Structure 1
Amino acid sequence: MGDLYALDFDGVICDSCGESSLSAVKAAKLRWPRLFDGVDSTIEAWIVDQMHIVRPVVETGYENLLLVRLLLEIRVPSIRKSSVAAGLTIEEILENWSKLKPVIMEEWDEKRDDLVELFGKVRDEWIDNDLSSWIGANRFYPGVSDALKFASSRVYIVTTKQSRFADALLRELAGVTIPSDRIYGLGTGPKVEVLKQLQSKPEHQGLTLHFVEDRLATLKNVIKDPELDGWNLYLVFYCGMWVYFLSWVLLKQETGGTTLIKREKKQQAFPGSTFWTFPTSVRS
């Protein structure tokens, strides 16, 4: 009867690492101005470079601010306020971010909602003051724009990005308008719950369901929920750090004795990308 695709945004449709890193540096300077006193362009450039490497751990945009500050504390020992920065490596951030994040938020006395608001405000101001440079700091992956324009399937965006930013990029970079009720952004609930909402809609009964995501942890959460057994799951990555990091994660899972993933390349949906399919058998 047809297909429904629920697509993550950052890392699946859009490479927003450049924009999110620059926005995070801008926001961090506003949040912690004293820490950035004396920080020169060389250190800032190093932080932005490292942000491209640690980007896979980010689930929600505000975490970019935390990563910027943590990287600054790693690079400049004299301003350290956290107990974890000394001797911390990039690899350890990649491996342990879910444990590090609550520690630094408590030690820095930061609240999630405050950081979300600030990050959104900085992006809004950048868009208002210089839309073209904000758009230019993002890019869509090869083939994605055409795939969205000419898709015959029902497409939804399921993202932790604020909906207005995803909508602006879809319009400006891809020339695509997706109705607002098909963009589930920050504040619409966990992705697991969004998928349940989508599959329960009367108009979706009988459709083949596909969820495309770039975070292994998110797909594991879907696998754990028996109500979502009807979804075909895909882990997508592209060239560069995404390939190496995600390949390492999958290899670690397999060599650790728990084979969760069957490799299956699919080129028809988004040319230039590779999907890793989660077979139904792993759900039992």
Structure 2
Amino acid sequence: MGDLYALDFDGVLCDSCGESSLSAVKAAKVRWPALFQGVDSALEEWIVDQMHIVRPVVETGYENLLLVRLLLETKIPSIRESPVAEGLTVDGILETWAKIKPVIMEAWDEDKDALIDLFGQVRDDWINKDLTTWIGANRFYPGVSDALKFASSKIYIVTTKQGRFAEALLREIAGVIIPSERIYGLGSGSVSL
């Protein structure tokens, strides 16, 4: 029968930082349209670049939205609503995210479940409108596709992203079909975060 392996998805099998950062910017524009009204493409690119640096603090995808807004508030003092943004650096975010997150959630009067739903909806919309670009914003690490294809063991995926997204990436990029009952993702009732 072989061994059974439960593999994490983001950062282990798939480098999804580009996609999650771009999805977060799209979702932040939906959630806080007035704040992003004057944001040009150069500032958006800066935010996405900074997201690659702060990505290690993200436990669940919705936190990307919070980071996008926080980065924007560090750059534009006139829109600042959080008490932590003034003087905050990327290193400061990396060092203090666990303390900052509840402060900004309260200051911005945000609801975790609503942000999770929005982040998922923005991804769904992007996939429905332009699957090729959404897929292209992700990549599997070298050797992962072949390792999954030729594994003699039973493979399970455990991810903090909604399982449908991991399933699509496995199918479209890696060329691997893992049954949905073996993908334990956010909202599946199988992973509690």
TM-score (normalised: structure 1): 0.66
Matched, 1:80 2:80: yes
Give 1:40 deviation, angstroms: 1.1
Q: Work out which of the two has the higher radius of gyration on C-alpha atoms and give 1 or 2.
A: 1
Deviation per CA, 1:89-117, whole angstroms, max 9, x where unpaired?
Answer: 11111111111111100000000010011
Give 1:2 deviation, angstroms: 3.6
- Which protein is richer in helix relative to its size? 2
**Number of the residue aligned with 1:119:** 119
Higher relative contact order (CA 8 A, sep 6+): 2
**Number of the residue aligned with 2:89:** 89
Structure 1 segment 86-235 matched on structure 2, within 5 A: 86-187=86-187, 188-190=190-192
| Matches of 1:65 and 1:180, distance apart in 2 | 27
**Number of the residue aligned with 2:33:** 33
| Structure 1 gap segments, 5+ residues each | 192-284
RMSD (Å) for aligned C-alpha atoms: 1.1
| Matched length | 191
- Which protein is richer in strand relative to its size? 1
| Matches of 2:21 and 2:62, distance apart in 1 | 11
| Matches of 1:7 and 1:165, distance apart in 2 | 15
Report the 3-state secondary structure (helix = DSSP H, G, I; strand = E; otherwise coil) of the residue aligned with 2:60.
coil
**Number of the residue aligned with 1:20:** 20
| Matches of 1:68 and 1:161, distance apart in 2 | 18
**Number of the residue aligned with 2:10:** 10
Structure 2 counterpart of 1:92, which letter?
G
Give 1:155 deviation, angstroms: 1.0
Report the 3-state secondary structure (helix = DSSP H, G, I; strand = E; otherwise coil) of the residue aligned with 1:5.
strand
| Matches of 2:159 and 2:149, distance apart in 1 | 19
| Structure 2 gap segments, 5+ residues each | none
Give 1:150 deviation, angstroms: 0.2
Give 1:158 deviation, angstroms: 0.6
| Matches of 2:2 and 2:118, distance apart in 1 | 41
Structure 2 counterpart of 1:168, which letter?
A
Structure 2 counterpart of 1:59, which letter?
E
| Matches of 1:104 and 1:4, distance apart in 2 | 40
Report the 3-state secondary structure (helix = DSSP H, G, I; strand = E; otherwise coil) of the residue aligned with 1:69.
helix
Report the 3-state secondary structure (helix = DSSP H, G, I; strand = E; otherwise coil) of the residue aligned with 2:133.
helix
The list of structure 1 runs, each at least 4 consecutive aligned residues, that deviate by more than 3 angstroms after superposition, is none
Give 1:180 deviation, angstroms: 1.1
Percent of counterpart pairs with the same letter?
78
